[in-house]
Amino acid sequence: MNNPLLLLIIIPVTLIFGLLFAGDMSKTVYTCQCCGHRFRAPWYKFLWNAHYDTDKIMKCPKCGKRNECVISYDQKL
């Protein structure tokens, strides 16, 4: 079955959900384990990140060290 109309529905819906997901991810607050600095990672960082678990190896914007940054669930900086 080849239905172009179905594709026209699926593509925008996928894009919308993708944007919502990216927007939600960029709200996540991370804590640097080296200096304790709290920061938000831009959404595009997730495109480069191979990790899908809760802790991510990221570069801290304050001390500049690459380390495992822990997700903070209170979402406040």
57: contact with Zn ion by CB under 5 A = no
41: contact with Zn ion by CB under 5 A = no
Beta strands in 7-63 (DSSP E): 29-31, 38-40, 56-59
Tell me, residue by residue from 17 to 36, as one string, x for binding to Zn ion by CB under 5 A and - for no binding. ---------------x-xx-
61: left (phi over 0), alpha (psi -120 to 50) or beta: alpha
45: contact with Zn ion by CB under 5 A = no
- Residues of this chain that interact with Zn ion (CB under 5 A) are 32, 34-35, 37, 60, 62-63
